[in-house]
Amino acid sequence: MDLSDDLADIVLALGEDTLGIWLARRAFDVAALDRDHAVTASVDIAGAHPSTLFVSCSEPLARVISARMFGGAEDDATVGELADALAEVANIVGGNVKAMLEPPTTLALPEPVPGGLPLDAVARARGVAGFRCNDEHLLVMVADRS
């Protein structure tokens, strides 16, 4: 089951309706995401098809998301607030994905992913959706757990 289009629909709605940011869907390009300066969070989904949902974006976009989610100025967000904002996005998207999967499924607590998106997860992807917001990148991926 390829979840790419479903992921795109969920994230586009979240961006517009909840965060008030305009995202444009773009082809997935892991090279475009600067892993050294990206903010990444994940949430595990348990059930018939154990998976991990990853959300990764550039630090400037994480600052926009944090400001929209928690209030405050983009420049004032701490590293912890950036991680919390991406973890909350992972939780929201993960909850929507969980609802599409064969029950029973459970969603773990979201957590930051130090070091950015794990490249080995790309080979296990069940769905990938890439986006741009101005010149910044956002990637959402569901990968089988190995």
Q: What is the pLDDT of residues 53-74, one digit of tens each?
A: 999 999 999 999 999 999 999 9
CATH class as words, domain 4-144: alpha beta
* Long-range Cβ contacts of 120-128 (<8 Å, 24+ apart): 120/146, 121/52, 121/54, 122/30, 126/1, 126/2, 126/3, 126/49, 126/51, 127/2, 127/3, 127/4, 127/6, 127/7, 128/4, 128/7, 128/28
Sequence-distant (≥ 6) Cβ neighbours of residue 18 within 8 angstroms: 92
Q: Give mean pLDDT, residues 22-50.
A: 84
pLDDT of 76 strictly over 80: yes
Tell me the domain boundaries of the chain. 4-144
Q: How does pLDDT run across 105-137, given as a tens digit for each residue?
A: 999 999 999 888 888 888 899 999 999 998 899
Q: How does pLDDT run across 7-18, given as a tens digit for each residue?
A: 999 999 999 999
Can you give the pLDDT at residue 115?
A: 84
